[in-house]
Amino acid sequence: MLAEKQLHLVSWGDLRAGGGNASRVGEDLRMLLFAEGDADDGAYERLENELEAQGDLFQCAPVAVATIVAAVAEGSIPAANLATSLDVLGRIVTGYADRSEIALGNGDLREQCRAEAMKGYWSLLRVAVERDPFNAWQVARAVLAVLDEEHSRRILE
């Protein structure tokens, strides 16, 4: 799986996260994206505060978006985890750079994250039209509405 390989290529400990450095983010993403069933071991909750905390984004967020989008594109996320993974993506693309990131000259995190998410636009559309039993299609539609409301609405009608 290429998305999982991408996770291992990132120096997560060199990136900033909500709790300081992002050393745990890579492993939490791996659990969220690739663990079977409910075996995420609290990764979803931890990511909520590391990638974005109450709408504030941190340096590691664009890399996380790229990884999620790659996993969606290759179809490697277990069906039971797809809605949750897309929920994380949706929270990131609606966020804004944390004040600490702005102070460090990284105020365009929202734009970076959305640009990464747009690379997976067609894969997100595929998920949005496939009515899965876990309702990932509804979450994908919400993400698409944030990224490109006008065009996605016309395509999905």
Q: How many Å apart are CA 153 and CA 66, to the nearest integer?
A: 23
The per-residue pLDDT for 37 is 62
The per-residue pLDDT for 40 is 61
**Beta carbons within 8 Å of 87's beta carbon, 6+ residues apart:** 139
The per-residue pLDDT for 38 is 60
* Residue ranges covered by each domain of the chain: 2-119
Mean pLDDT by 10 residues, the chain (157 residues): 89 94 94 77 88 95 97 95 96 97 97 97 94 95 89 70
The per-residue pLDDT for 6 is 86
